[in-house]
Amino acid sequence: MAKKKVLIPTKLDKIAAEILEGHGGYEVVQDDKTELHALACLHPDAHALIVRSEKVTAVVLDALPSLKVVIRAGAGYDTIDIRHARRRGVDVMNTPGANSNAVAEEVIAMMLSDARHIVRADTDTRAGGWEKKAFMGREIAGKTIGIVGLGNIGRLVAKRLSGFDCRFLGYDPLIAPQRAEEYGVTLTTLEVLFSESDYVTLHVPLSPETRAMVNETLLMRMKRGATLINCARHGIVDMAALRKVKPQKGLRFLNDVYERDEPGPKPDADLMDLMLPHLGANTHEANWNAARRAAEQLIEYEEKGITSYVVNRDIPEGLDPAYGELTFMLSKLARALVGRESKLTRIETSFYGTLEPFADWLLVPLVSAIWNEFDRSMDAGAARHFLKERGIEYQNRKGDPKKGFANSITVDMTASMGGQSLTAVSVRGTVAESALMISRIDEFDRLYFEPKGFTVYFQYDDRPGVVGAIGMALAAAEINIEDVRHSHSERSGQSLVMMRVNKPVSPAMIRQIGEEIRASRAIALSF
């Protein structure tokens, strides 16, 4: 039987080739000298492609007619045209977590280097200087470390720094308090974290929610002389705000991420007290881990059908893709209603009618609505692992056909507020005439609200005049109401109002209206 050809057009650790060739079923061509497209043209019979940061374009994919799988030896895969790969029937996989320790250690290396002026002192001493007074440093022991994002890297930062006897504060709305405590981290708000930390290190993905999340307000809360570290993604820090606040507060800024990974002058370089050329994953060990994982995943994918790390999955046959979107919308709504700052502890789902066989597939858009970094093309195994890592229980309840919900989806979320008290919400939806519909929120049934555009939601003790007060407040801000649902519950004595409006409503305005009508829930979200 002919061996399957694997192309490795990069300086990936040799362990990948050794594992694949040792298996006996693969022929490996590893060539980091030849340009990728030219290499593809030389080997059109390649069955698999393992890359690091090389750009796998549509042109490269089309030059490999026998290609079945591309594996990114690392987490990010934005250099791969995953849509064209799917059109070509090519699965794309990644190896998340392989670089986590390398990035965590880089954070600590930057902290120590900056605290003790290692780079400048080395340069000065080599030039004949002896400026001990100029290089008076600081110790990390006993300091408060704020970790924004407690995924693999954030947790490892806490673990690796534990020997320094530091106090750890963490911000991550998706991790349970008891899970954070296992790593010695106390969960808190962003405001408290930035106010009390001597060092703030960022470990969140770049998304619409996290873009410029480190804004002027948070920066102004930082201690005088505190240090901000970004080894996550460019764009998380509002650089204009940093330029304004940094000299006022005497802040330090250590950076390893840029808008473009390329040689040449870097914008805002003058704001960076220590800057590195995106070295986070650049260790021999991380390279070895990623190479090993890539080879092992390829074998498991082929021999056992394990697709946990496929990032461009197709929609299963027989499922209307609208139900994937519906699950995403319901999860997004439930997360907002239970409180974005609350700590999720439990998620329950029910899939009715013909949707029941697709429960595993639909779990993925549910999780991706809660966490932007969880890609919607991952599989149920990866989704369950994500929830388990954050201490979130998940149960899929078998739908009761006697309830007559046809093809409907119910999502229930429970979260802890203030560490002890619990809050819960249950939402249900369906698809009617190709339109997504929210049919129920808790005891408020038969809503049939279409989740699209800008939406405001208020829940309050029922009494006359509330809907009018909301409408007047929106009108005063020149915000037009495009659709509205108003429902009352005899059991609780509460009412809700959901409105689709023509423009975003600011958090300050939502708070103002909520206070005026004494709302128990007041939120704005964009579908």
Handedness of CA 103, 105, 108, 112 (dihedral sign): negative
Q: Kindly name the residue from 278, 376, 384, 486 that is annotated as catalytic.
A: 278
- Report CA-CA distances (Å) from 170 to 167, 187, 243, 281, 464: 10, 5, 25, 23, 43
Beta-carbon count within 10 A of 345 CB: 20
DSSP codes, 229-270: EE-S-TTSB-HHHHHHHHHHHT-EEEE---SS-SSS--TTGG
Do the Cβ atoms of 254 and 272 come closer than 8 Å? Answer: yes
Do the Cβ atoms of 6 and 46 come closer than 8 Å? Answer: yes
DSSP codes, 441-475: ETTEEEEEE---SEEEEEEEE--TTHHHHHHHHHH
Task: Give the span between the Cα atoms of 479 and 56, in whole angstroms.
Answer: 45
Task: Give the span between the Cα atoms of 203 and 99, in whole angstroms.
Answer: 13
From first CA to last CA, the distance across the chain in angstroms is 52
Q: Kindly name the residue from 203, 233, 346, 428 that is annotated as catalytic.
A: 233
Task: Give the span between the Cα atoms of 496 and 441, in whole angstroms.
Answer: 9
Pairing of strands 494-501, 481-488: antiparallel
Pairing of strands 393-398, 167-171: unpaired
Give the bridge partners for 387, in sequence order: none
Task: Give the span between the Cα atoms of 368 and 380, in whole angstroms.
Answer: 11
Residue 477, C-beta contacts closer than 8 angstroms, at least 6 positions apart:
505, 509
Is 278 tagged catalytic? yes
The length of the chain is 527
Give the CA angle between residues 257, 194, 133 to the nearest 5°. Answer: 75
Assign 482 to helix, strand or coil.
Answer: strand
Give the bridge partners for 254, in sequence order: 229, 274
- Report CA-CA distances (Å) from 306 to 28, 46, 77, 88: 21, 21, 19, 20
Q: Kindly name the residue from 126, 262, 317, 446 that is annotated as catalytic.
A: 262
Is 233 tagged catalytic? yes
Task: Give the span between the Cα atoms of 287 and 145, in whole angstroms.
Answer: 28
Catalytic residues: 233, 262, 278
